[in-house]
Amino acid sequence: TKSPTQVQVEEAVKPYGVEYKPLNFMDINEGVKFMENIVRNFKVKVTPTVVVANRKKLDAKKITGADIDKETVFEAIDEMESQ
């Protein structure tokens, strides 16, 4: 169903040992705004995309698609940290 009840969600996740806790709308809205800002500022056009940013230096590295792997992400982190 597109709109499961709280009970249906609780039952669906129970076998995985997950406790259902509803999120506050304001928290969700803040997250959505944050992600929209990331997408706009870093011109994210495809998924998957990883953005590693150095906010102090206002620089970032964007990694997309098949280029995303552990080594590439750690290299981007090292690059942003060394600035």
pLDDT in tens, 4-62: 999 999 999 999 999 888 889 999 999 999 999 989 988 999 999 999 999 888 889 99
- Give residue 2's pLDDT: 84
b/e string for 31-56 if b means 16 or more Cβ within 10 A? eeeeeeeeeeeeebeeeebebbbeee
- Give residue 52's pLDDT: 95
Q: Provide the residue type at 33 as one letter.
A: K
Rg (CA), the chain: 18
pLDDT in tens, 25-36: 999 999 999 999
Contacts for 43 with CB less than 8 Å, ≥ 6 apart: 62
pTM: 0.63
